[in-house]
Amino acid sequence: MSTTSSPPAPARRDFLRRSALLGIAAGLGSPALAGTPASPSPIARLRSGRVAGQTEQGVHVFRGIPYGGDTAPRRFQPALLEAPWRGIRDALDYGPAAPQGGSEGPGSEDCLYLNVWTPALRDGGKRPILFYIHGGAYNNGSGSDPLYDGGNLCRRGDVVVVTVNHRLNLFGYLYLAQLGDERFADSGNVGQLDLVQALQWVRQHAAEFGGDAGNVTVFGQSGGGAKIATLMAMPAAQGLFHKAWTMSGQQVTAAGPRAASQRAQQVLDHFQGDAETLRRLPMAQLLEAVKLRDPSRVENTALYLGPVLDARNLPVHPFWPQAPAQSAGIPMVIGNTRDETRAFLGNDPKHHALSWEELPAKLEAQQYVDLLPSVVIAEYRRLYPQYTPSEVFFAATTAGRSWRGAVEELEARARQGAPTWAYQLDGYDRDGDAAALRAFHTLDIPLVFHNNAQPGSRTGSGAAMQQLSDSMSDALLALARTGDPNHAGLPRWDRYGLARRQTMVFDTPSRQMDDPRGGERRLYQQAPFIQRGTF
């Protein structure tokens, strides 16, 4: 690690210019600032230097803080710490996302940045710290989505909120250990090791941001939940967090080393090179390989890239054949939404107008479980005689896909006797523009962040949905503060047990139910659960 370096010149100039303008405006009595003294930028003292944030509605916000060095020189290897800098570095803007396609691409290999919202600095506050891991499977996303803005949650609960970027797709999870030299030994899990490094940074700096290093709650949705499940089985992550809340994201099994090597070999064959070839390819060229078709999936999906059972960083499958022993004492909430797949499949108008004749072929392609569609349809018609073919389609694809992983994790934790609570989100805005999607995948993100009014939220802003957001965010805050999600605004929420399968159904109003959708659960238990990417 180099001894000193300066922040990017434009960022430093922005800081100096902003400070100077504030001082001039205050001194001249600018009409825009008349009667409002200029607030000095909050300054945090970090292991590598000082950073200047800004204060937003009473909360100090620091965006784009580096917690590791540029990963480009160490592609496929664990990251080094960030280089120190002189003076004060601006922390006003989000850092680059990891390399990826889509709206947040192309990103940068210099992507190890996190963001902090806190009520105070260095006040000995010992506040709970909530560390959010974004979704996007293991392929895309970042911690800078407006729905992840931590300001409202920070103000509501007097907590510290952290969001994070880390390596994804080939850059974070391409397993080259059996196809290259010792430099590639950790390659299948460096994206997870980035998260470990970020959590270590949080532990080191908790007091600086008024937080408690001994009370860190990790929470995440979809791929973020899966990453949390994986961290729970990684020895390097032990002791770095103390509670967990996952939303529609599970990791029961990881990719096996043979299967992960098979996918890596496909990438090598595509580029007609070896591991060293991939290390030297331009970022954009390497990123093209995410479009390759996966060799092991019948759904003909893109190349699966996720954590690997490498007998090194991940010595056991996260939740098979049992829940991870190292995390048995961590209180955990495992949740899902009632209509997950409407987010993926509900944007096609044809899926809302299916006939009984069309339904079997649609289920064959989309339920991800090898059961006869005729058997599935017959059981759904018995369970829910009022359902249309389209309602059967959305319900069956939800039950046959990600929800099954949540049930597997809940059962494993219950057998272990670990403190675990289950929820199902049923509530949605019946009059909103997303009413046809109902309680779709990702709907719980703005609810737990108390961000119903943020850009991208489709919760609606009516009183009922605001009340639902109150109850969900307060449950997260209660878990973070006490290790139990119960609070005065909810009915009693019991721990999940195999005898009753107690589940909080978040709705307007919310209620606890025993084994909701039990008939669907029993139907799909006729087939073994196989996590995507395992084989």
Buried b / exposed e over 278-297, threshold 16 CB at 10 Å, is bbebeeeebbebbeeebebe
Residue 20, SS3 per DSSP: helix
347 forms bridges with which residues in the sheet?
none
CB atoms within 10 A of CB 48: 19
Give the span between the Cα atoms of 143 and 165, in whole angstroms.
5
Give the span between the Cα atoms of 448 and 243, in whole angstroms.
15
- With tokens 């059961």, the residue in question is 371
> What own/partner pairs with CB < 8 Å and gap ≥ 24 does 183-186 have?
183/76, 183/77, 184/76, 184/77, 184/275, 185/310, 185/312, 186/76, 186/77, 186/78, 186/310, 186/312, 186/313
**Cα 158 to the chain's mean position, in Å?**
22
Give the span between the Cα atoms of 452 and 442, in whole angstroms.
12
Phi, psi for residue 505 in degrees, rounded to 5: -95, 105
What value, to the nearest 5°, has the Cα angle with vertex 174 and ends 169 and 176?
165
Residue 52, SS3 per DSSP: strand
Residue 219, SS3 per DSSP: strand
What residues are labeled active site? 222, 340, 441
CB atoms within 10 A of CB 531: 23
Output the furthest CA–CA distance in the chain (Å, rounded).
78
Query: Is the CA virtual torsion 439, 444, 445, 448 positive or negative?
Result: positive
Phi, psi for residue 241 in degrees, rounded to 5: -145, 160
- CA 410 to each of CA 8, 376, 470: distance values in angstroms, whole numbers, following the listed order: 47, 24, 25
